[in-house]
Amino acid sequence: MAIRDVLKMGHPVLREVAAPVTRFDTVELHRLVLDMDDTMRSLDGAGLAAPQIGVGLRVVIFEVNANPRYPHVEAIPYTVLVNPVLTPAGDEMDDGWEGCLSVPGLRGLVPRYRQLRYQGRDARGNWIDRTVEGFHARVVQHEVDHLDGILYPQRVRDLRNFGFEDALVGQMTPMPD
């Protein structure tokens, strides 16, 4: 379909709460997902939320393939998640380094729930219900935050742990955007 421009931090759409999708399996929804796929893949991203391409709908996609650049990161199956609902499984949180295609070149240390359940639908309207942990759980929390107008720098607890990726080399565990 089309590679779209990714909005950068500061764009007002990235601060808005996105609206639920009400009709599934439509040409418009499939087209949106294809554009998100093309855009995410062109930038080698781990996930993308619709607001990042200027569409205020509750749609996220994510996928992590085994990548020699991130040997400690487990693969995550390609997922289209619409109208997601997250339920943390326990109170435990882990700190991890995150990046974001809307915040290029930067990385920050962000606490996320270690384990959570996510529910939602795919683009056809089929139900998704998974309980995940670790990096998979982190990616889902990062992407769903976008739907509520939250970018990861807002979750960095200590701004000393926020900086440019090239300056942080050796001080952080690299993670895909």
Cite the active site residues: 143
- Window of 67-75, 93-101, 122-130, 159-167 that interacts with Ni ion by CB under 5 A: 93-101
User: What residues contact residue 53 under an 8 Å CB cut-off, 6+ apart?
Assistant: 4, 5, 6, 7, 35, 36, 39
Question: Which residue lies nearest Ni ion, judged by its C-beta?
Answer: 100
Indicate the residue among 29 and 145 with the shorter CB distance to Ni ion: 145
Query: Tokens for 4?
Result: 């779209």
Indicate the residue among 132 and 151 with the shorter CB distance to Ni ion: 151
How many whole angstroms separate alpha carbon 151 and alpha carbon 15?
8
Q: C-alpha angle with apex 176: 46 to 51, nearest 5 degrees?
A: 45
36 binds Ni ion (CB under 5 A): no
Indicate the residue among 81 and 100 with the shorter CB distance to Ni ion: 100
Return the amino acid letter for 62. Answer: F
Residue carrying the six token digits 């931090």: 9
The CA–CA distances, whole Å, from 40 to 49, 61, 88, 90, 113 equal 9, 9, 26, 31, 24
Q: Within positions 95 to 114, which residues make up the interface with Ni ion, using CB under 5 A?
A: 100
Residue 121 C-beta: closest distance to Ni ion, Å: 21
Residue 71 C-beta: closest distance to Ni ion, Å: 22
Indicate the residue among 82 and 100 with the shorter CB distance to Ni ion: 100
Q: How many CB atoms lie within 10 A of CB 150?
A: 16
Residue 54 C-beta: closest distance to Ni ion, Å: 14
Residue 176 C-beta: closest distance to Ni ion, Å: 11
For residues 117 to 146, the per-residue mask of contacts with Ni ion, x marking binding by CB under 5 A and - elsewhere, is ------------------------------
- Shortest CA distance to 162 belongs to which of 111, 106, 112? 106
Chain contacts with Ni ion (rule: CB under 5 A) = 100
